[in-house]
Structure 1
C-alpha cells in the first residue's frame, strides 16, 4: 500500500530538551493514524515538523512523496491542518468563514454550504463564529481544514475541552471523513477516542515512540488480568479471593472487584453462589497499555 507519510530518524532539540528523539513511522494511504502520549511527549512537535511548520534537526521525511521543509507550496493544497487552538476571522458568520478560507485555495463560495452540512453546521451558517459553542467551533475548524478537499488531514487534539456529547458527535464527523478515503493523522489524550477511531496508533513519551500498532493488537499484547465487578456485599472479599481462577479481590463499599486471568472460571463460581448482581467484566484497554508504557505520575 502507498505511503502517505514516511518518517525516519526524526529529531528536534530545544537546548538540552530532546522534544523528538529518533522517531520513525509511516502512514498508509487512507489510514486513520493516531499519535498518543502524555503532556510533553513530543506529539505536537512531531506533527508540526510533518506539516512543514518546523524544521527538523535530523531525519528523513516525506509527505505525499514531497519534502515539507522548507515550506513546500506544492503540498499546501494537498493537506489540511486543524490546530489545537483555532483562530477565526472576527465578526464573520460560519459560512463567511468557510468562504474566506476556501478563497485562499480558489474554492468556489458555494462549497461552504456543502462543508457546513458535512460537519452538521448547516443550521448555523449565518451565526457569527463567536456565538458558536466549543463543539460547534471545533467542527467549523475541521470544515476549514477540509474546504479545499485535501488528501491528508492533520488533527491536533480536536476534541480537547469538549463535553462528552460534543466529543461523540465529532467522532461521527471524523468517521464519515475517514470513509471518504482520506489519510488522517490525529493526536489525542483520550484513549477511548483513539481506540474507537484509529486503524493504528503510536504511543510516544520523552520524544520516542514506545509502541506502534492497531489498538486491539496492542491491548492483546498486554499481559493484564480481567476485572470482574459486582455490587458490594454480594460476596465477602474473603470468599471472593478463594474462588477458582481469582488472583485478587477488593471491596470499596460500592463494588466488589476481582482480578483474574480466567474470567470464565470466576464467573461460573460466582453464578453457583448466586453472586452476579450487577456483574461487569472488563478486559484490558488501550488506556492500560498507555499507563503501562508511560507510567502513572502526574504530567504538568
Structure 2
C-alpha cells in the first residue's frame, strides 16, 4: 500500500521551546492511525505541518504523495478535517449546516440523510445549531468531515462525549471508510478506543515519539508473561509468578489471567506521568 502520510525527522520550535523533536512515522492508505499524547505534546503542531498550515524547521513532511509545503487548494478537497472552529452556522439548522457542505462537494442528499440516520441525528435535523448538545455537535462535525469520502481524514477526539452505543456507531463508520481505502489519522485520549480501532499508533510526549507500532504489539512488549492475576470471590486480587498458581487453586478463585499491560499503564511507565488532557 502507498504511504499517504509521512514525516521524516521533523523538528519544530516556537521561540526557544521545541514542540517536535526529530519525529518520524508513516501512515499507509486505508490505515487507521492513532496519534496519542496529552495536551501540549505536539499533536496539533504535527497536523498543522501536514496540512500546510505550518512549516517545520528541519526534516520533511509528505501528504497525498507530495511535499506538505506544496499542497494546493485542490489537494485540500481530498482531505477531511473534523473541526469546530470553522464553517459552523449557529442560526442555521443542523441539516442546513450540512446541506451547504454536501452541495459544495456535490454529494447527494441521500448520502447526507443516511449519515444522519446512522448517527441518530435525523430526527433532530431541523434543530438550530445553537441549540444542539455537545454530543450532537460532535456528530455534526464528524459528518461534515466525511461527507465527501476524502482520501485522508483527520479526526480530533471523534467520540469525545458520546455514550458507548454512539461511539460504536462512529467506529462502524470509520471501519467502513477504512474498507473504502480512506486513511484515518485520529487523536484520542481514550486508550481503550485506540487499542480497539487503530492499526498503528504513536505515543507522543513533549514532542518526542516514545513508542510506535501496532497497539497489541506494544502491549505485548511491556506485558509480563511470567506473572498472573488471581481474583477471589471476596473481590481480592493478587499478582503471583506463574509457577505459584497451583498454591491458590481451590481457594475460592474466581479467575486467573495473565498480567497484560494497557497503553495507559505503558505511557505512565515510560513518562512517569498519567495520560490526561490537562
Would you say same fold, with TM above 0.5? Answer: yes
Matching residue of 1:188: 188
**CA distance in structure 2 between the partners assigned to 1:129 and 1:154 by the alignment:** 23
**CA distance in structure 1 between the partners assigned to 2:125 and 2:112 by the alignment:** 9
- In the alignment of these two chains, the number of paired residues is 274
| Paired residues of 1:9 and 1:22 also in contact (CA < 8 A) | yes
**CA distance in structure 2 between the partners assigned to 1:111 and 1:173 by the alignment:** 13
| From 221, 244, 250, the counterpart of 1:272 | 250
| 2:267 maps to 1:290 | yes
After TM superposition, the structure 1 = structure 2 runs for residues 64-79 of structure 1, keeping only pairs within 5 Å, are 64-69=64-69, 72-79=72-79
| Paired residues of 2:220 and 2:260 also in contact (CA < 8 A) | no
SS at match of 2:184: strand
Which consecutive residues of structure 1, in runs of 5 or more, have no partner in the other structure? Answer: 233-254
Change (3 A) 1:66 1:229: same
Q: TM-score if structure 2 supplies the norm length?
A: 0.87
| Paired residues of 1:5 and 1:28 also in contact (CA < 8 A) | yes
**1:105 CA drift (Å):** 3.5
**1:23 CA drift (Å):** 1.0
**1:71 CA drift (Å):** 5.5
**1:290 CA drift (Å):** 1.9
**1:6 CA drift (Å):** 1.3
| 2:239 maps to 1:259 | yes
1:278-298 CA-to-partner distances (Å, cap 9, x unmatched) read x47462222222222222358
SS at match of 2:73: coil
**CA distance in structure 2 between the partners assigned to 1:216 and 1:53 by the alignment:** 33
| Paired residues of 1:34 and 1:202 also in contact (CA < 8 A) | yes
**CA distance in structure 2 between the partners assigned to 1:13 and 1:160 by the alignment:** 29
SS at match of 1:34: strand
**CA distance in structure 2 between the partners assigned to 1:298 and 1:117 by the alignment:** 34
SS at match of 1:102: helix
| 2:215 maps to 1:215 | yes
1:187-233 CA-to-partner distances (Å, cap 9, x unmatched) read 1111001001101101111101111111110010004354333344x
**1:156 CA drift (Å):** 1.4
Which consecutive residues of structure 2, in runs of 5 or more, have no partner in the other structure? Answer: none
